[in-house]
Structure 1
Amino acid sequence: MTKLYFVRHGLTANNALHAFNGSYSNHGLLPEGQQQASELGRFLQEVHFEKTYVSPQKRAIETAQYILKENQFSVNRLIEEEKLKEINFGYWDGVSIDSKEGHPQLRNLRHHPEQYDPSEFQGESYPSLIQRGTSFIQQLDYTTDANYLIVSHGVTLTTLLQTLKGKTIAQVREDGLLDNTSLSILETNNGKSFQEKCWNYIAY
């Protein structure tokens, strides 16, 4: 049985400012985010991770580093994976979310993913996000019992995990967005069907 430990990164300045925090934004963690990651690391300190995959964005890398610093086992190097980057918000990246209230595509982003069309601001669609996320999952090795730590981002992980659980595009946001430094665990025997063991758990 392979266990996938999915973690959303810790708190950043864009999160605190309620701004779009997409694939172009590259802030590190705020002190609060560092503390969150350390506390999650202590919660996971007895889990031996075969490999650690991270988005190449600074906030994800730092989150993984703080988690592994607390781990009792030998720390594997971080494997940076472009497919784990946050959704691309295009020209909206870094912009105040409140400034877009009332825009139909903000409503679709949150509540109607199947209708979300970010072409106006050169963003990334949900089908594109799902394609790159699932292609990452398909490249993992499921032939041995292993624990993989996967550190990524809110929209990317929420969309990917819901898809792996069999949800349609229209359903991927129905449970809301994963929280900062939350832990979600899926199990699989073959990399094709997944069982949820933990969803959006907060250790702090």
Structure 2
Amino acid sequence: MQIYFVRHGRTQFNLEHRFQGGDSDSPLVESGILGGKAAGKRLQAVQFEAVYSSPQKRAFDTAQYIVEANQWQPDIQVEPRLREMRFGRWDGLLEAEAEPKTQVDMLINHPERYQPELAGQGETYADFVARTTAAVHDAVAQAGVQSDKPLLMVSHGLVTTMTIKALLGIPIAQFRKPLYLDGQLMSTIGHGIVDNDSLTILETDDNQTFKVKTWNETDYLDA
């Protein structure tokens, strides 16, 4: 069984460097729309067992662009557990405006020490990945690990990246650090996050252990 993860397209909040978590949303900008369509073209010949999307508009719109290009026109199932990490009061703020700065630093550089109760009252990393990985495990179980058709999950930067790292067995303290697979440094846009409209593929044969087949693929965005 393979699971395809696509991060949503670029949004206005992305451009403005605002917190854009589970309680905020921002429309896709033109490059984000074009990226979603490019991802759709990349995946047009893939027959998916099921397609799941975060309920947030930026992700669902991206999923729609992908499905519209797919020759099998699969339905999109909204999965609430794929909602982005919640930042509470920080959602919608410019990143430079968030207080206290010590917790901003913990969020980005020391995730195991991040305490949302001292910040914006959002989620801990542990609670966050518990719900997102549960969504993946449930989807794989429903499809069956022997399915020769992959799953597609369209969501967010932290959902995609941190869920994958958790499924790989990477501890929370390492979530934001550079990722090496087989001795090779994996590309990110900074702080360990995959690119907008990127594709990452995991594979599992038991719904317990996972390995990366494709990481942060973006070549199709320049085609």
TM-score range for the pair, normalised by the shorter chain length: over 0.9
The aligned residue for residue 99 of structure 1 is 97
Deviations 1:165-186 (Å, cap 9, x if unpaired)?
1100101111311111111000
Contact 1:179 1:200 in 2 (8 A): yes
* Structure 2 residue 213 is matched with structure 1 residue 197: yes
Residue in structure 2 matched with residue 110 of structure 1 by the alignment: 108
Q: Which position in structure 1 is the counterpart of 2:153?
A: 150
Q: Secondary structure at the match of 1:139?
A: helix
Structure 1 ranges of 4+ moved more than 3 A: none
Counterpart of 2:19 in 1: which secondary structure? coil
Tell me the CA shift for residue 145 of structure 1: 2.2
- Equivalent-residue separation in structure 2 for 1:34 and 1:135 (angstroms): 29
What's the counterpart of residue 2 of structure 2?
3
In the TM superposition, residue 71 of structure 1 has moved relative to its aligned partner by 1.4
Match of 1:29 in 2: 28
CA distance in 2, matches of 1:62, 1:7: 12
**Identity across matched positions, percent:** 41
Give the Å deviation of 1:26.
2.2
Where do 1:61-140 residues align within 5 Å?
61-72=60-71, 74-100=72-98, 103-120=101-118, 121-140=120-139
Unmatched segments (≥5 aa) in structure 1:
none
Using the TM superposition, give the Cα deviation of residue 105 of structure 1 relative to its aligned residue in structure 2, in angstroms.
Answer: 1.3
Cα-to-partner distance string for 1:36-60 (whole Å, 9 max, x where unaligned): 0111111111111111000000000
Q: Which runs of 5+ in 2 are unaligned?
A: 179-191
Mapped partners of 1:75, 1:16: distance in 2 = 31
TM-score by structure 1 length?
0.95
Q: 1-side partners of 2:98 and 2:133: how far apart?
A: 29
Q: Write the letter of the residue equivalent to 1:89.
A: F
- Compute the displacement of 1:21 (Å): 0.4
Aligned mates of 2:17, 2:25 — CA distance in 1: 15
1:158 Cα deviation after fit: 1.1
SS at match of 1:19: coil
Q: In the alignment, residue 200 of structure 1 is paired with which amino acid?
A: N
1:14 Cα deviation (Å)? 0.6
CA distance in 2, matches of 1:78, 1:40: 15
Q: Give 2:14's aligned amino acid.
A: N
Q: Report the secondary structure of 1:47's partner residue.
A: coil
TM-score norm. by structure 2 comes to: 0.87
What is the number of equivalent residue pairs in this alignment?
202
**How many Å separate the matches in 1 of 2:169 and 2:121?**
28
Shift of 1:27: 2.2
State whether structure 2 residue 13 is matched by structure 1 residue 14: yes
Q: CA deviation at 1:201?
A: 1.2
The alpha carbon displacement at 1:108 in A equals 1.2
How far the C-alpha of 1:28 sits from its partner, in A, is 2.5
Q: CA RMSD in A?
A: 1.3
Q: CA deviation at 1:101?
A: 8.0
Q: Which amino acid is the alignment partner of residue 35 of structure 1?
A: L
